[in-house]
A and B are shown apart, each in its own frame.
Chain A
């Protein structure tokens, strides 16, 4: 039964890319954890900017600059509302989640983390939430600690608590694992970290399209996410930071909007958020980002999550019948990601054969090599669902898997 709030045919109509054949078969796009497809409203917003408003922002006094600046800043307001931030100034535009994390590591890290301090990440992290911290630790002589996972791919909370101490300065974890779909208990993680006065960054890249984000309720110190996983354009994302932290942090890059006054005797920096936004940003894409947020909010995140849960339940039921099917990551709380192996078939072969049937899935280590090492595997096949996916597609996918299994017999 499809939830009444989600009219799947109506939603699919809004995504032009879905209505095509790939390798002679109707496209089934199950690589949503890598990037989502874009609705017509996002494509239109991008086109509209380039056709009517293209101009540089903030400094121009002419009409086009005014329009572009207003639209750009309207996205900031929309993101602040989307995250339930206290203030619009707490939203910094970035290239995406990765840049958001790097920004915090570079600026907050450089100023507030020193030799012997500890940073905690989890074994579930994407490389983007490991490497910036490793780089910082190397530079500062700090120590990176890792929260282990159990055999279901869930963080072991008791082990996390044991890692916390007065040396812990920062905890950076994802809300939802890109590789396994595990939903982490971020509220509890944040509460525990705050008890030892550590700051917490939440990587919400995978969570943004699936759960209602609320920085106030979570009380996280930083949150990063990308537009392109929430039906928006690539190359754009947002970093939320609490005002007092952002104000205390040094700038990220120099040039453009980040300055107040420059002279050869010294430079004064702009206020937040502009202090962190050097250079001409991805203006059109930021503007279209708002259309993506509107799309999500119009559908309602609860409706999206509910519908995707239905897709997951349906897929899990059908996949049980596929011989040799082995799920990797069986957390009790999971978002719409199914990572799996089929006995005797290499994930690359499986991915390629599914592509021949028009089905796009991800294969490999999903930029989470340490996690793959824990499971002692090279990689998995990952099918990740989105609100525009239909149960019929899941049925077609499972039938395709059955056919591939027969080929290998």
Chain B
């Protein structure tokens, strides 16, 4: 299984090929979102909405063999692409790895520049929510 570090390196490399072109970068983010597996309707509940995002983002987490499996969706195409990156990095990782993760890819790809401050705050809220899920999973394992 690829590590959080190595997946982030892959993402940085992928974005590097876009050469900082704003339109191409946003287009690519939207493509990533379009490929995100559909979040079953039963998980698109108000309880699963990430607080702090301007757009609607639904986030659901399950456990599979000691690893956390995230599923997500959003009502905006760009945000869906952003959350898909987090799902790619953090899904199938252990709760400890998620909680200890050093997430650096968004700074390296200059995400603030192409999504602006408000969406960046929403992005931080998504990470926080994923960590809260990981913490809950960890508590469940330790019971």
A264 interfacial contact with B, CB 8 Å = no
Interface residues of A in 187-204 (CB under 8 A from B): none
By the criterion CB–CB under 8 Å, are B78 and A356 in contact? no
By the criterion CB–CB under 8 Å, are B75 and A357 in contact? no
B116 interfacial contact with A, CB 8 Å = yes
Q: Total interface residues on A, using CB and 8 Å?
A: 14
Q: Total interface residues on B, using CB and 8 Å?
A: 18
By the criterion CB–CB under 8 Å, are B23 and A346 in contact? no
When C-beta atoms are compared, the residue in chain A nearest to B75 turns out to be: A346
By the criterion CB–CB under 8 Å, are A353 and B75 in contact? no
CA distance A357 to B26 in the complex (A): 11
The 8 Å CB contact of B79, one of A348, A356, A407, is A348
Contact with B along A330-362 (1 / 0, CB 8 A): 000000000000000110110011011100000
Most buried by A among B26, B77, B119: B77
Most buried by A among B23, B79, B115: B23
A14 interfacial contact with B, CB 8 Å = no
By the criterion CB–CB under 8 Å, are A364 and B76 in contact? no
By the criterion CB–CB under 8 Å, are B77 and A346 in contact? yes
B54 interfacial contact with A, CB 8 Å = yes
Residues of A within 8 Å of B78, CB to CB, are 348-349, 352
Residues of A within 8 Å of B115, CB to CB, are 352
CA distance A407 to B81 in the complex (A): 14
A24 interfacial contact with B, CB 8 Å = yes
B27 interfacial contact with A, CB 8 Å = yes
A326 interfacial contact with B, CB 8 Å = no
Residues of B within 8 Å of A316, CB to CB, are none
CA distance A349 to B54 in the complex (A): 12
Min C-beta distance of A27 to chain B, whole Å = 13
CA distance A353 to B25 in the complex (A): 10
Contact with A along B98-114 (1 / 0, CB 8 A): 00000000000000001
By the criterion CB–CB under 8 Å, are B27 and A407 in contact? yes
Min C-beta distance of B126 to chain A, whole Å = 15
By the criterion CB–CB under 8 Å, are B21 and A24 in contact? yes
By the criterion CB–CB under 8 Å, are A357 and B23 in contact? yes
